[in-house]
Amino acid sequence: GAVVSQHPSWVICKSGTSVKIECRSLDFQATTMFWYRQFPKQSLMLMATSNEGSKATYEQGVEKDKFLINHASLTLSTLTVTSAHPEDSSFYICSARDPAVSYNEQFFGPGTRLTVL
Amino acid sequence: GQNIDQPTEMTATEGAIVQINCTYQTSGFNGLFWYQQHAGEAPTFLSYNVLDGLEEKGRFSSFLSRSKGYSYLLLKELQMKDSASYLCAVMDSNYQLIWGAGTKLIIKP
């Protein structure tokens, strides 16, 4: 099956710093990747849809200047949390759509737990 | 607006059967997914339904009725490792997943 990796698995940073999270599709080319955020005991919240070679589409209420998304290749998308604050602490999960799978299943990375001190 | 409803929490006994319901109202429909999510981990795919009826996969089955906007996930022969959150998600007309809040399933010995 399709495999998606994320790096790092967890990160602790100081308030005001920036953090970059990588999402890679390991055995397929993903033209579309998704970035989610999940707070404790809540469901997944879609932040943005990332399309290779074009600008990401952000969901309402998500600041595009704070959460920078780059999808420079068919196997890599990055999310940079700029000037992170404690309220940005969350579980960030990426997923990728494999065009070879007919029913548009999203394959999820293992997630990145961000703690901002 | 778009809406996915599922119970917040359910409790069942090891070895028993449990049914988790999901009702939805979305703009368009391109299939319904069930995912399992253990605490602190990413979701893993369980099933996909796009046509009415029952899809069986081992101990897990998923049912869909598009006319009723309703699905359920049936788990048989429950094991302790089945304790997790179960997420219902519907793909809308833009092929975007709309997520339910998840049902936390607690399995007791």
Q: Mean pLDDT per segment of 10 residues, for chain A of length 117 residues?
A: 90 96 92 91 89 89 94 92 96 89 81 95
Is B69 touching A (CB cutoff 8 A)?
no
Tokens 């990160």: give the residue: A11
In the structure, what pLDDT confidence band is assigned to residue B83 with cuts at 50, 70 and 90? Answer: very high
- In 3-state terms, what secondary structure has residue A14? coil
Q: What is the pLDDT of residue A40?
A: 83
Q: What is the pLDDT of residue A1?
A: 67
User: In whole angstroms, what is the distance from residue A6 CA to residue B24 CA?
Assistant: 31
Q: What is the pLDDT of residue A68?
A: 95
In the structure, what pLDDT confidence band is assigned to residue B87 with cuts at 50, 70 and 90? Answer: very high
Query: Residue B57: how many CA atoms within 13 Å on its side-chain side?
Result: 11
Whether the predicted pLDDT of B80 surpasses 90: yes
Is B79 touching A (CB cutoff 8 A)?
no
Whether the predicted pLDDT of B90 surpasses 70: yes
Pairing status of strand B84-91 against strand B103-108: antiparallel
Q: What tens digit of pLDDT does each residue of B7-46 get?
A: 999 999 999 999 999 999 998 999 999 999 998 888 998 9
User: In whole angstroms, what is the distance from residue A9 CA to residue A7 CA?
Assistant: 5
Is A93 touching B (CB cutoff 8 A)?
yes
Q: Which of A54, A45, A61, A55 is nearest to A95 (CA)?
A: A45
Terminal-residue alpha carbon distance, chain A: 37
Q: What is the pLDDT of residue A2?
A: 81
Pairing status of strand A32-38 against strand A90-97: antiparallel
Residue of B nearest to A9 (CA): B41
Whether the predicted pLDDT of B2 surpasses 90: no
Is A31 touching B (CB cutoff 8 A)?
no
User: In whole angstroms, what is the distance from residue A103 CA to residue A88 CA?
Assistant: 33
User: Of B46, B90, B99, which to mutate for an interface test with A (greatest number of A Cβ within 10 Å)?
Assistant: B99
Q: Per the CB < 8 Å rule, is B100 touching A43?
A: yes
Q: What is the pLDDT of residue A34?
A: 94
Residues in chain A within 8 Å Cβ distance of B87: 43-44
